[in-house]
């Protein structure tokens, strides 16, 4: 069996979390752009 990979606290704090935060912001911006671009009331309600 493969050994589970381990990450250090340093990797978590300085590499992984900033990348997750950037991805979260990108996804939020994408969803807001979609919401602003749609004219369908049901679609707007669904995405809020």
User: What value does the mean pLDDT take over residues 18-44?
Assistant: 91
How large is the greatest C-alpha to C-alpha distance in the chain, in angstroms?
52
On whether the CB atoms of residues 35 and 47 are closer than 8 A, the answer is: yes
The pLDDT score that the predictor gives to residue 1 is 64
| Residue 2 vs residue 25, higher pLDDT | 25
- Which position has the higher pLDDT, 34 or 48? 34
Distance of CA 26 to the CA centre of its chain: 6
Please give the backbone phi and psi of residue 6, each rounded to the nearest 5 degrees, phi first: -115, 145
Residues 5, 43: Cα–Cα separation, whole Å: 41
What are φ and ψ of residue 34, in 5° steps? -65, -45
The stretch 14-35 carries a mean pLDDT of 94
């Amino acid at each position: 069996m493969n050994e589970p990979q381990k990450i250090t606290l340093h990797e978590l704090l300085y590499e992984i979390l900033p990348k997750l935060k950037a991805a979260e912001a990108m996804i939020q911006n994408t969803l807001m752009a979609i919401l602003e671009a749609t004219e369908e009331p049901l679609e707007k309600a669904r995405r809020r």
